[in-house]
Amino acid sequence: MTNAEARPIRTAKALSDSVDRAVAETPIIDMHTHLYAPAFGSLLLWGVDELVTYHYLIAEVLRTDRSVSPGEFWAMTTPQRADHIWRVLFVENEPISEARRGVLTTLKQLGIAPGPNGLAEAREYFRDVTVEQHVDTVLRLSNVSSAVMTNDPFDDAERAVWLSGPEMDPRFRAAMRIDPLLNAWDTAVPKLKAMGYGVSPVFTQATYDEVRRFLDDWADRMDPLYLAVSLPSDFAYPAGDARSRIIANCVLPFCRERGLPFALMVGVKRLVNPDLRLAGDSVGKWDMNVLDRLCAENPEVRFLVTVLARENQHELCVTARKFPNLLPFGCWWFLNNPSLILEMTRMRVELLGFSFVPQHSDARILDQLVYKWEHSRAAIATVLKEKYADLMATGWPLTDGDIRRDVEQLLGGNLRAFAG
């Protein structure tokens, strides 16, 4: 630590500058995205047409211009969808929502003047950009050192890439996602069989052994940071259903024996409006007694947990106070809005100190890293300034070095330590 870093901060201005510097300069481990390393080819979405047709914006355009039905919208090509969304959500209506502002923040950072011509200018910008160049640009602008992917061995296109032995860019890390296994056992069975695993729809020891072999094989191949699943708001455990049986007999032993954290993302209501496809999911409250039970019964398994309902956030913090094997993370999906990030981050600091992961981007399009992190960094910095000011009011001698250490924990260190 230099002398300046060790000297107590004395003024509000010095505190504000110190927090801004630490939050801007600390590289981020983005622990949940839907991005892929370039070796995955077209699975990695990037560029302005993808950015503008993000499913958060699709939900907004279909409610803003009801003259275009979902069927008509889906019949369009991606550039046609982008033209439509740009006209309706940016030109004819104020681009004031968080998802729309996000597009504008990204364009601004890429040096494209925001305004009604933004889409055309951005298309011009992207004309000669390669994916490798763009990965470098976006990771530099967002100061993300490592983006964790969402890797689904049940996905045919993705599985083919893994089986071809791709050259992995070390800036992208794997996370093994097993939604089909836990949420759709009936359809997982034929897929597992086709992959060479001798499972049967009824649960026998041989079926459990084969599911376990599947998990081990894919973990060996992917070297994931954690195992993950998205679960509905009515997720119950133990419940006597296929999901509970697989969790108890395959997933928990697998995580325990391999030392891999189990990430639970809970609170989705899938396809409340199927016409909207990926944009048609909603949110529901979860009975978090289930989490108490999972953490208490499995002290040697580490649980990374994010919950989608705002109403579940306080309980998640309290539960984390009880269980050191639980690390709350992120302001997920409908919670990734400044007002809610502020609320949740304040509550988490008050209840947990700095022992949580404040945010993940959930970026589906590479370019989104730029805005999702610029907006989240601003909210995190706001909360830190308030909380440090309260701390300094007690007379505690806070230094620049302390702030750097804390921010490093929040933006990467906590995950690194928890995931080993």
Q: Which residues lie near ligand RAT (CB under 6 A)?
A: 34, 230, 265, 278, 333, 362, 364
* Nearest to Zn ion of 281, 362 (CB atom): 362
374 binds Zn ion per the rule CB under 5 A: no
Q: CA 358: distance to chain centroid?
A: 11
Name the one range near Zn ion by CB under 5 A: 35-43, 210-218, 293-301, 362-370. Answer: 362-370
* Nearest to ligand RAT of 31, 398 (CB atom): 31
* Nearest to ligand RAT of 1, 278 (CB atom): 278
Minimum distance of Zn ion from residue 34's CB (angstroms): 6
SS3 324: coil
30 binds Zn ion per the rule CB under 5 A: no
* Nearest to ligand RAT of 362, 367 (CB atom): 362
Q: Are 114 and 95 in contact (CB under 8 A)?
A: no
Minimum distance of ligand RAT from residue 125's CB (angstroms): 25
Q: Distance between CA atoms of 397 and 400, rounded to whole angstroms?
A: 10
Residue 364 interacting partner from ligand RAT, Zn ion, none (CB closer than 5 to 8 Å by kind): ligand RAT
* Nearest to ligand RAT of 333, 354 (CB atom): 333
SS3 267: strand
What lies within 8 Å, CB to CB, of 44 at 6+ separation is: 35, 36, 37, 38, 131, 366
Instruction: For the sheet with 144-148, list strands across it.
Output: 28-30, 144-148, 172-173
Q: Distance between CA atoms of 387 and 358, rounded to whole angstroms?
A: 15
Residue 346 interacting partner from Zn ion, ligand RAT, none (CB closer than 5 to 8 Å by kind): none
Q: Distance between CA atoms of 192 and 168, rounded to whole angstroms?
A: 25
What lies within 8 Å, CB to CB, of 131 at 6+ separation is: 38, 44, 46
152 binds Zn ion per the rule CB under 5 A: no
* Per-residue binding letters, 249-288, with Zn ion (x by CB under 5 A): ----------------------------------------
Residue 334 interacting partner from ligand RAT, Zn ion, none (CB closer than 5 to 8 Å by kind): none
Q: Distance between CA atoms of 187 and 190, rounded to whole angstroms?
A: 6
Residue 159 interacting partner from ligand RAT, Zn ion, none (CB closer than 5 to 8 Å by kind): none
φ, ψ of residue 277 in degrees (nearest 5): 50, -125
Helix axes 185-194, 205-222, angle to 10 degrees: 70
CB neighbours of residue 280 within 10 Å: 18
Tell me the Cα Rg of the chain: 22
* Nearest to ligand RAT of 316, 398 (CB atom): 316
SS3 114: coil
Minimum distance of ligand RAT from residue 159's CB (angstroms): 18
Query: What is the number of the residue whose Cβ is closest to ligand RAT?
Result: 230
362 binds Zn ion per the rule CB under 5 A: yes
* Nearest to ligand RAT of 87, 364 (CB atom): 364
Residues that bind Zn ion (rule: CB under 5 A) add up to a total of 1
* Contact residues for Zn ion, defined by CB under 5 A: 362
